[in-house]
Amino acid sequence: MSARDNHQAEDLRRLRELLAEISDLNAATALMHWDQQTYMPEGGIELRSQQLTTLSRLAHERLVSPELAELLERLEGSYDPSSEEGALVRVARRDHERAARLPSRLVAQMARAASEAEPVWVRARAASDWGAFAPHLERLLELKREAAEHLGYEEHPYDALLDLYEPGARKSRLEGLFEELKAGILPLLRSIAPGGRAEERSAPLVGDFDERAQEEFGRAVLTDLGYDWSRGRQDRVVHAFCIDLGGPQDVRITTRFDPRRVDTALFTSMHEAGHAMYEQGVSPSYARSPLAGGVSMGVHESQSRLWENLVGRSRAFWEHYYPLLQKAFPGSPLERTDLEGFYRAINEVKPSPIRIDADELTYNLHVLLRFELEVAMIEGRLAVPEIPEAWDAKMEEYLGVRPEKAAEGALQDIHWADGLFGYFPSYSVGNVLSAQLFAAAVRARPEIPDEIGRGNFGPLRGWLSENVYRHGRRYEPDELIERATGAPLSAAPYLDYLREKFGALYGCR
């Protein structure tokens, strides 16, 4: 070993050490968040928020520290970019630069503005009072525009915000994707739900569904899917989420139960398990490093949607599970419903003003609306007082429904109150990619659909592990997608899937 190699090895060792410390601090933050949503006593909220502030400050200080900057500087170009070491340096550098570009004054201002906005948003939503929330949104937008200038961009300030969730994504490219989605989905929706109304099909899902039986059934399904309980657990919350604690060895999920509906907890659990199996499948050697975890929000969401929708809402899946579900709820409306009726019920198309209630077909229209408004807000083309009106007009244009009040319109999501701009498009990227990945998996392993019909998810999970999970953040999102599917992100497989599925369900191919 030459002296140069020696220095390089020592630098890499020290880099790994610093990155592991940052990962540990972030994991402590994650654990505190998890605890806050699950078991923390109500009285602990203020104490907890101080603790979280300290931990994120410590992690941030380490990430922008001169020592880390120098190590990254020295190691830049030392490793083949396609090697794991090269990927580690690239990803760490990216995280470091993003953090370093934002003045700490601005980071603190954004955190404060969001923490002030959130409780106001809760009250404003309850009262459908846009005016109460508007000054907070103005402030958040102002700070986000400033952040975009610090972060830098080539084409559009929105790109700088998108980049946090979708590394390398561009507004211009997303516009093309959404145009394709709109052109494919709108005619299909018009023929299924003219004037925003479709046939009522979900009645069999409503009744008395014992919570214990729901929990048991859900756990059995997740076990079959391949969620590893020895490296995870499931708890109850109001808003479900999945959280990793720094590596694939501890990835937890949550769910919520509605004793009046048989589908809520199950699909929520399958969604979160999709996120979790991705994180559990990351190469164990990436633990406590920035290579652990998902490569982008869109790829992450593709995994939850794939298991929730392409698997969980497929006929093949229920050919195996429906008799078991009927047996789990004796005396429920399911006893009088055949497989076909149940399959139609869980795939009901129902235009609704509320995004989180949206079906597969209308979901992306909700995202499209938010994307268009966000871009106009960041550009300053849309003034904050005019948002509710613009929102309602688009809702009517795309979905044929009009919110009755702001709580069902522009005040429904927490994202803007949390300062999350550029986040919504990831939901649609996830939907689109879920179909592209599923199609690629079936091409490679044609037995997948039949195996799903037998309750065997091994072939599908195996393909995903090999092509997506294990890589963590090793490749850029675009590269990962190309490697896995042989093509760049494309709406075509998703639109084919929607046309085939809903065309058959509603007889309008």
- Closest approach, Cβ 427 to Zn ion, in A, equals 8
Contact predicate 336/345, CB 8 Å = no
CB proximity list for 344: less than 8 A, separation 6 or greater:
201, 505
Catalytic: 272? yes
Contact predicate 408/161, CB 8 Å = no
- Closest approach, Cβ 358 to Zn ion, in A, equals 14
CB of 26 or CB of 304, closer to Zn ion: 304
Segment lying near Zn ion (by CB under 5 A), choices 39-47, 192-200, 201-209, 303-311: 303-311
Q: 299 phi and psi, to 5 degrees? A: -65, -40
CB of 72 or CB of 306, closer to Zn ion: 306
Collapsing DSSP to helix, strand or coil, 452 comes out as helix
Q: How many helices (H) and strands (E) does the chain have?
A: 20, 3
Contact predicate 468/430, CB 8 Å = no
- Closest approach, Cβ 241 to Zn ion, in A, equals 8
Amino acid at site 281 = G
- Closest approach, Cβ 494 to Zn ion, in A, equals 17
Rounded (10°) angle between helices 387-399 and 130-151: 90
CB of 255 or CB of 304, closer to Zn ion: 304
Segment lying near Zn ion (by CB under 5 A), choices 121-129, 302-310, 371-379, 389-397: 302-310
Segment lying near Zn ion (by CB under 5 A), choices 33-41, 210-218, 251-259, 300-308: 300-308
Question: Rounded to an integer, what distance in angstroms lies between the CA atom of residue 132 and that of residue 410?
Answer: 13
How many amino acids of this chain bind Zn ion (CB under 5 A)?
1
- Closest approach, Cβ 281 to Zn ion, in A, equals 16
Q: 108 phi and psi, to 5 degrees? A: -65, -40
289 touching Zn ion, by CB under 5 A: no
Contact predicate 445/463, CB 8 Å = yes
Note every long-range contact of 89-96, with CB atoms under 8 Å and residues 24 or more positions apart, other chains counting. 89/15, 91/290, 91/291, 91/473, 91/474, 92/15, 92/19, 92/68, 92/290, 94/167, 95/63, 95/290, 96/63, 96/64, 96/68, 96/69, 96/72
Segment lying near Zn ion (by CB under 5 A), choices 14-22, 281-289, 299-307, 494-502: 299-307
Which residues partner with 236 through β-bridges? 255
Among 21, 179, 272, 340, which one carries the catalytic annotation? 272
CB of 33 or CB of 101, closer to Zn ion: 33
- Closest approach, Cβ 11 to Zn ion, in A, equals 37
CB of 249 or CB of 304, closer to Zn ion: 304
- Closest approach, Cβ 25 to Zn ion, in A, equals 25
Question: Rounded to an integer, what distance in angstroms lies between the CA atom of residue 433 and that of residue 492?
Answer: 10
304 touching Zn ion, by CB under 5 A: yes
How much is the CA Rg of the chain, to the nearest whole Å? 23
Segment lying near Zn ion (by CB under 5 A), choices 40-48, 91-99, 296-304, 449-457: 296-304
- Closest approach, Cβ 272 to Zn ion, in A, equals 7
CB of 304 or CB of 332, closer to Zn ion: 304
How many Cβ atoms sit within 10 Å of the Cβ of residue 438?
Answer: 26
- Closest approach, Cβ 239 to Zn ion, in A, equals 11
303 touching Zn ion, by CB under 5 A: no
Segment lying near Zn ion (by CB under 5 A), choices 56-64, 202-210, 297-305, 433-441: 297-305
Contact predicate 77/43, CB 8 Å = no
CB of 26 or CB of 254, closer to Zn ion: 254
CB of 23 or CB of 304, closer to Zn ion: 304
Exposure on the CB side of residue 449, measured as CA atoms within 13 A? 11
| E strands present in 201-288 | 234-236, 242-244, 251-255
Segment lying near Zn ion (by CB under 5 A), choices 208-216, 258-266, 304-312, 474-482: 304-312
Question: Rounded to an integer, what distance in angstroms lies between the CA atom of residue 437 and that of residue 423?
Answer: 21
Contact predicate 71/11, CB 8 Å = yes
Question: Rounded to an integer, what distance in angstroms lies between the CA atom of residue 440 and that of residue 446?
Answer: 10
| Number of residue whose CB is nearest Zn ion | 304
CB of 363 or CB of 463, closer to Zn ion: 363
Site residues, Zn ion (CB under 5 A): 304
Catalytic site positions? 272
